[in-house]
Structure formats: structure tokens, C-alpha cells
């Protein structure tokens, strides 16, 4: 849908600003894609508007932000051979299937992931794509096109795997690449797509997959290239104890020591999962400002452990949420991920951990992880008008009292309206212009073909 110059989102039922500031009970005025007024109860816009949206039945949040995903994995959800496995055997089952990705299959997988995220209130997503079989050299280009088709924002990471089975790594040789190919493509993608504009729809980051799938050299070279171009770095780290053992055996270092040894310990980096850190490592990550993408559902699904998210954030490390790949979640739903984060972290820290803290991880916390807190993640003057709006008129919410708490405690799973940069991208629970039935049919067929070649 086209951008409307001035919109008044009038008299919302409740607003979560993510800043602890007063909620704009009179509404939010958006102009040219930016929040320009926050109105007190009974207030009116300072100048005429082109559209008034009555939000009296809506709970308004900043657009949710997903900091860790693998879009391509929507093709391998709930696959029986990997359904009851922990991380390493799970990967070994799935790598040969993922090696059958084609451009058409990837496009369908990414479109499904983005649509599912958008319908859950997510406006910005980080994807970690590291599988580049023959014929899929333009994987990130395909992702860019899909992001722009759906009108979302994304941090797309050019992932890599260089350490195959014959060299002591985990992935098969069919999905690893040489360093020269990886670095050349990374430079190409940064030059073509990365934007530092406030309203950027696409940013790039560099993302060697994990300690057990890349060499030290590609970690160090990626850090140097990222510094040269001013882009961020991303990898999986400390997800499982098996990974910790691998780092000790191969590098003679714990995971955070390894991270520091390759030039990654700093605010330029964020880490997927970040579960198995000791007290000293949490302090070091916090002092360095290294971000962590907490992935509660995946961590439970693979029984990897419970991240120490509260302690990491209290130490100074930005903490956000990630749904992780749709073969270990097996969904792409950010509002449900916030609920899972709330409950999993309460198991570690107690029932008094606030609902607002989990929502903060899904919004401003995630924006900090991606280095975009100046533009997105909260409802503040001058920020991009990325908003997620939920209604509480379903049976599950009947009898609820606190509208914001009800979103998580009663299990909201679908947004009614979503705005990205002032443009409506979800209207009445649907994505305008997207034939969801056709997408599901084509995607399901592609998923079946993936299993046979």
C-alpha cells in the first residue's frame, strides 16, 4: 500500500513505548514515514492529517525486531529425522537437505519467513544465510528482493562455511566455500545493498557461521573487512556445550577467548544464542558491548540451555530476541517469541521478571543489537514509524485487564495492523497483495521436493 503523507493513529487502547516514557493516550502522528507527534489524552494534531485511524481497540507496540533467523529453513520444519535430536546430529541430518536449495526454493522460503514474521508484528529481521551450494551464488540478492517486495526492513548477513568434514568441521564439503569467494561476494553485496540511511530497508553484515564450521582465518578476515566498510559481524557462539568442547579441542580456547583472539570482541559483533558463558565472560561481553540474540524457543527445542539474558544485559551487553531458523523453532513468530523469552527467563530469575522487560528485548533491545536504536525499536519523536498493532477481541483475551501484559500472558500470535516507515504492510490481519493460499501451496510443494533432490 502507498505511503500516506500524514496519519493520525488516534486514541489507542494502550501503547508500549519501550522507553518507560508516558504513553501517548491521544495517539501518534506519522508524517513521511516518521513519528512527528505524540499526543496526550484529548490532544489533536498540530496540523491537518490525510488519514485518521481509530486505534481505540488496538494495543500499539514498536515494530518487533528479530535479531537471528535462517529464512531458508522454513522448507525443513518438523522433519522427522531431525525432530528429536540435539544440535550437532540435527545439523548433520539437515546439511545434505539444505545443499539442495535452488534459487526458486530459496525465494519461496524467504517469502514465507518474512510473511510469517510480518503477520506476527515484526517489521525488521536479521537473517543469517550461510548455505551456498552450486547455483545459489546470488542467495543474498534473492533475499533483498523478497524483503523489498514485502516492504520490510532487514539486516541480511553474508554467512559462510569454510571448515568441511575433511578438515575436521561439521558441514559436508558440498556446502563450504573458499575464503576468496566469500570475501569477494561480501564486498560486492556491501557495495550494492548496504545503506546507513535512517530509513534504510536493507543493511548488510558479515557472518561466518560458527566455530565448528569456519577457520580462524575467515573469522579474522571477516572482522577486517567489516571494519573497512563499517558493517557489523554476526556468528553463532556458546549455543551448546558440544561447541564449547569443540573450541577447547581445536583452538585451545573457550568460546569468548576465541572470539577475542580473532578480533570480534566489541560492539561491532552480535552473537546468536550465547548460552554457555561464565561470570567472567558475561562481564567481558558487557564491557565490550557485544550483543546477544536470545533464541528461547530454539534453545528449548534443541535442549541447548537457558541464556543468562538478564545478567548479560545488566553487565552492558545489548540483548535482543531471535526466532532462529524455522527448522529449530519451528515458527517465525516474534510476539510468541517474546512470550517464550518471558517464561524461560522467569524459570532462571523468578516470576517477578516484568512483561515489559521481555517486550523491551523484542523491540529496543533488538534495535541496539543491530545498531539501529537511533532509528527503530521504540515509539519516540523522530523515529521511523514502524508499528505493530494488536486487538484483544478473541476468546483468549476475554477477562484480561492489563492490555500490554495480555499480549504475552494470554498468547497473542497475530497482529491486526502493521506499519513500516509509515506504510501499512498488514491490514485487518492480512498482507495486501499477497496471495497467502498460493504461497503456501507452492512452498509446501517445494518443501517436499527438497527431501528427494
Q: Which DSSP string corresponds to 185-227?
A: HHHHHHHHH---STT-SEEEEEEE--TTTS-HHHHHHHHHHHH
Q: Has this prediction a pTM greater than 0.85?
A: yes
Query: Are 418 and 390 members of one domain?
Result: yes
Query: Left if phi > 0, otherwise alpha if psi is -120 to 50, otherwise beta: which for 289?
Result: left
Query: Are 301 and 361 members of one domain?
Result: yes
Per-range mean pLDDT, top range of 87-96, 158-167, 321-330: 321-330
Query: Are 227 and 358 members of one domain?
Result: yes
State the Cα–Cα distance between residues 19 and 27, nearest whole angstrom: 16
* b/e burial code for range 245-281 (CB count within 10 A of at least 16 → b): ebbeebeeebbbebbeebbbbbebbbbbbbbbbeeeb
Percent of the chain with pLDDT over 90: 93
Domain end marker among 369, 391, 411: 369
pLDDT at residue number 1: 57
Query: Are 410 and 282 members of one domain?
Result: no
The answer to whether residue 106 scores a pLDDT higher than 80 is yes
* Chain centre to alpha carbon of residue 308: 19
Query: Are 68 and 54 members of one domain?
Result: no
Average pLDDT value for residue range 223-241 = 97
What's the pLDDT tens digit per position in 37-86? 999 999 999 999 999 999 999 999 999 999 999 999 999 999 999 999 99
Closest CA to 101 of 81, 126, 71, 128: 71
The answer as to whether 375 is a domain residue is no
The answer as to whether 32 is a domain residue is yes
The answer as to whether 270 is a domain residue is yes
The answer as to whether 16 is a domain residue is yes
The answer as to whether 452 is a domain residue is no
Residue position matching grid coordinates 520490510? 152
Query: Are 106 and 42 members of one domain?
Result: no
SS3 165: helix
Query: Are 51 and 93 members of one domain?
Result: no
Task: Specify the CATH number for the domain of residue 101.
Answer: 3.20.20.140
Structural domain total, the chain: 2
Query: Are 258 and 302 members of one domain?
Result: yes
The answer as to whether 431 is a domain residue is no
The answer as to whether 437 is a domain residue is no
The answer as to whether 150 is a domain residue is yes
Up-side HSE of residue 102: CA atoms within 13 Å toward CB? 9
pLDDT at residue number 135: 93
Domain end marker among 344, 369, 394: 369
The answer to whether residue 94 scores a pLDDT higher than 90 is yes
Query: Are 95 and 42 members of one domain?
Result: no
pLDDT at residue number 238: 96
Going from the C-alpha of 341 to that of each of 10, 119, 140, 297, 411, the distances in angstroms are 31, 19, 29, 8, 12
Domain end marker among 369, 391, 415: 369
Query: Where are the extended beta strands (E) located within 363-438?
Result: 387-391, 417-420, 423-426
Query: Are 36 and 71 members of one domain?
Result: no
Query: Are 326 and 391 members of one domain?
Result: no
Are residues 264 and 294 in contact, defined by beta-carbon separation less than 8 angstroms?
no
pLDDT at residue number 2: 62
Query: Are 410 and 420 members of one domain?
Result: yes
Task: Specify the CATH number for the domain of residue 28.
Answer: 2.30.40.10
What residues make up the domain containing 27? 6-62+382-426
Closest CA to 38 of 403, 387, 420: 387
Going from the C-alpha of 253 to that of each of 56, 110, 379, 411, 436, the distances in angstroms are 55, 36, 42, 41, 48
Amino acid at each position: 500500500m502507498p505511503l500516506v503523507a500524514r496519519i493520525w493513529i488516534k486514541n489507542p487502547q494502550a501503547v508500549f513505548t519501550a522507553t518507560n516514557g508516558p504513553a501517548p493516550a491521544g495517539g501518534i502522528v506519522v508524517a513521511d514515514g516518521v513519528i512527528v507527534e505524540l499526543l496526550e489524552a484529548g490532544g489533536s494534531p498540530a496540523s491537518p492529517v490525510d488519514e485518521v485511524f481509530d486505534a481505540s481497540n488496538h494495543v500499539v507496540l514498536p515494530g518487533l525486531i528479530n535479531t537471528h533467523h535462517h529464512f531458508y529453513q522454513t522448507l525443513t520444519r518438523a522433519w522427522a529425522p531431525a525432530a528429536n535430536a540435539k544440535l550437532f546430529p540435527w545439523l548433520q541430518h539437515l546439511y545434505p537437505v539444505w545443499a539442495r536449495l535452488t534459487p526458486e526454493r530459496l525465494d519461496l522460503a524467504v517469502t514465507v519467513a518474512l510473511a510469517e514474521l510480518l503477520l506476527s508484528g515484526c517489521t525488521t529481521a536479521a537473517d543469517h544465510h550461510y548455505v551456498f551450494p552450486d547455483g545459489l551464488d546470488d542467495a543474498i540478492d534473492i533475499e533483498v528482493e523478497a524483503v523489498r517486495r514485502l516492504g520490510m526492513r532487514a539486516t541480511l548477513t553474508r554467512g559462510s562455511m569454510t571448515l568441511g568434514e575433511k578438515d575436521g568441521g561439521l558441514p559436508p564439503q558440498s556446502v563450504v566455500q573458499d575464503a576468496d569467494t566469500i570475501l569477494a561476494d561480501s564486498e560486492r553485496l556491501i557495495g550494492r545493498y548496504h545503506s546507513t540511511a535512517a530509513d534504510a530497508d536493507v543493511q548488510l553484515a558479515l557472518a561466518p557461521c560458527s566455530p565448528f564450521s569456519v577457520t580462524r582465518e575467515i573469522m579474522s578476515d571477516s572482522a577486517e573487512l567489516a571494519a573497512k566498510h563499517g558493517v557489523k559481524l554476526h556468528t553463532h557462539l556458546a549455543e551448546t556445550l558440544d561447541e564449547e568442547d569443540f573450541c577447547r579441542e581445536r583452538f585451545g580456547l573457550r568460546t569468548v577467548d576465541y572470539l577475542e583472539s580473532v578480533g570480534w570482541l566489541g560492539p561491532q559483533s552480535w552473537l546468536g544464542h550465547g548460552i554457555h558463558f561464565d561470570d567472567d565472560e558475561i562481564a567481558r561481553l558487557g564491557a565490550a558491548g557485544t550483543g546477544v540474540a536470545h533464541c528461547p524457543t530454539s534453545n528449548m527445542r534443541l535442549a541447548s540451555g537457558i541464556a543468562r539474558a538478564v545478567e548479560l544485559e545488566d553487565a552492558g551487553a545489548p540483548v535482543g530476541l531471535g526466532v532462529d531458523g524455522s527448522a529449530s523453532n519451528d515458527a517465525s513468530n516474534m510476539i510468541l517469541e517474546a512470550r517464550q523469552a518471558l517464561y524461560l527467563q522467569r524459570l532462571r530469575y523468578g516470576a517477578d521478571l516484568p512483561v515489559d522487560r521481555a517486550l523491551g528485548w523484542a523491540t529496543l533491545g533488538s534495535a541496539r543489537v543491530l545498531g539501529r536504536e537511533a532509528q527503530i525499536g521504540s515509539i519516540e519523536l523522530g523515529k521511523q514509524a514502524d508499528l505493530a498493532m494488536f486487538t484483544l477481541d478473541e476468546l483468549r483475551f476475554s477477562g484480561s485487564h492489563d492490555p500490554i501484559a495480555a499480549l504475552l500472558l494470554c498468547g497473542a500470535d497475530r497482529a491486526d495492523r502493521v506499519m513500516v516507515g509509515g506504510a501499512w504492510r498488514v491490514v485487518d490481519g492480512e498482507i495486501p497483495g499477497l496471495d497467502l493460499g498460493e504461497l503456501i501451496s507452492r512452498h509446501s510443494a517445494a518443501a517436499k521436493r527438497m527431501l528427494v533432490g
